[in-house]
Every structure is written in structure tokens, then in C-alpha cells.
């Protein structure tokens, strides 16, 4: 039995509140309706399209607080950032990101998304990747959305900040990496010793 429009719209609003970066296509599959119906429901509820939802989450203050890398130089769109703690970015895989013969994303784009997010996360004027250990866990295809989540795990014995990055398509992990981040203040501390 089909749900009433009112019930569907209430559930749609709840779903978007809990998963703000869900696409209209994914919503259509979830609710068993057309993409056009989802768009009309969103319009009636005053819920903006995905790009606008992403922009509203990514506030201007990040441009003022990010020290190591300007937000516009991060690969993907930053949607959450807490310096020296955590960050999230989204990268929609488009034709320029894939191999033409098989429509699979080139690995360097997934690495660049993760690495640039790790750099931006560091609260320092100069943050550089000193070393990384990465794994690609499944191919990413044209049209998929990659959500990278970075978390600071602390400092190693050299005083480098360790950042873990896990990237997902839906709930499936597609990339994992640990980045050792060099900070400019490390050099100042070594000079004092």
C-alpha cells in the first residue's frame, strides 16, 4: 500500500535531516517514487536541492579559520570542519575524474581528496604530508559520490600529527589512509632544543 503524500513528505524531511547529502535519485529509490516526485516534495517543503544544502553547511568562517590550505584548494566540497579534530568533504565523480575506457575513477583523485582534507584539518600556517599509508578498497565509478571523513588521531613520536581518512560511497568504504602531517611549529620546537 502506498503511503499518503503527507506521510511521505514527513518521512522525506526526516531522512534529509539525518542524511543531508543524500541525492534525489537515492531518495526516489528509498521511497519508491520518481525523481520528479521527490523534487516536487522538496519544493513544497522548502528543502533546497543537494548543492544548496552542501553550501549552507559549508560556512564562510572556514575561509577565515583554515590556515594550511585555502578551502577552494581542497579537492571536493568541504561540508564539515573542526580544526585539529575532524573534517568531511564530498567529491562527485564526473567524466574528467575517470578513465574513458571503463569509467572508473582515477586513484589520484581519491588520494587528493583525502590528502587535501588532511592538510586543511591541521591548525597551522604550514602543514605538509610527510608520509602516508593508503589502501583503495573498491573501484569508484562515474556518477558516484565520495564522502571523505578525516579525524585527527594524535601525534606520533616525531611530533607529527596523525590523521586518519576514510572515504565512502554510500555505506561502503572505498579508500582508507593514515597521513603523517608535518607542522611548521615542529621546526620551531626542534630549533629550541
Residues 6+ apart with CB under 8 A from 175: 110, 111, 114, 134, 135, 136, 137, 146, 148, 165, 166, 167
Q: Write the pLDDT tens digit of every residue in 7-57.
A: 999 999 999 888 877 889 999 999 999 999 999 999 999 988 877 776 665
**Cell digits of residue 23:** 541525492
Other Cβ atoms within 10 Å of 142 Cβ, number: 16
Residue 118: the pLDDT is 94
Residues 87/116, Cβ–Cβ less than 8 Å:
no
Q: What is the pLDDT of residues 79-131, one digit of tens each?
A: 888 889 999 999 999 999 999 999 999 999 999 999 999 998 898 888 899 99
Domain boundaries, the chain: 5-55, 58-192
CATH topology for 5-55?
Arc Repressor Mutant, subunit A (1.10.10)
DSSP SS3 for 182: strand
Burial of 32 (0-12, 13-18, 19+ CB in 10 A): exposed
135-165 pLDDT per residue, tens: 999 999 999 999 999 999 999 988 899 999 9
Q: Could you please state the CATH topology (level 3) that the domain comprising 58-192 is classified under.
A: Thiol Ester Dehydrase; Chain A (3.10.129)
CA 42 to CA 46: how far, in whole Å?
Answer: 6
Helix residue ranges, H only, 32-142: 35-45, 50-57, 61-65, 107-121
Residue 149's DSSP bridge partners are 88, 166
One fold for 5-55 and 58-192? no
Amino acid at each position: 500500500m502506498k503511503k499518503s503524500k503527507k506521510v511521505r513528505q514527513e518521512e522525506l524531511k526526516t531522512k534529509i535531516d539525518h542524511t543531508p547529502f543524500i541525492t534525489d535519485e537515492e531518495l526516489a529509490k528509498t521511497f519508491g517514487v520518481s525523481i520528479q516526485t521527490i523534487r516536487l516534495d522538496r519544493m513544497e517543503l522548502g528543502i533546497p536541492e543537494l548543492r544548496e544544502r552542501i553550501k549552507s553547511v559549508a560556512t564562510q568562517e572556514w575561509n577565515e579559520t583554515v590556515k594550511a590550505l585555502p578551502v577552494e584548494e581542497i579537492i571536493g566540497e568541504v561540508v564539515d570542519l573542526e580544526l585539529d579534530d575532524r573534517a568531511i568533504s564530498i567529491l562527485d565523480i564526473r567524466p574528467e575524474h575517470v578513465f574513458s575506457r571503463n569509467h572508473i575513477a582515477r586513484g589520484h583523485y581519491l588520494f587528493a581528496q583525502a590528502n587535501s582534507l588532511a592538510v586543511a584539518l591541521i591548525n597551522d600556517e604550514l602543514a605538509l604530508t610527510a608520509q602516508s599509508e593508503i589502501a583503495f578498497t573498491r573501484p569508484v565509478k562515474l556518477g558516484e559520490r565520495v564522502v571523505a571523513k578525516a579525524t585527527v588521531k594524535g601525534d606520533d613520536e616525531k611530533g607529527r600529527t596523525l590523521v586518519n581518512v576514510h572515504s565512502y560511497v554510500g555505506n561502503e568504504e572505498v579508500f582508507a589512509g593514515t597521513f603523517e602531517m608535518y607542522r611548521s611549529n615542529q621546526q620551531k620546537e626542534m630549533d629550541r632544543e
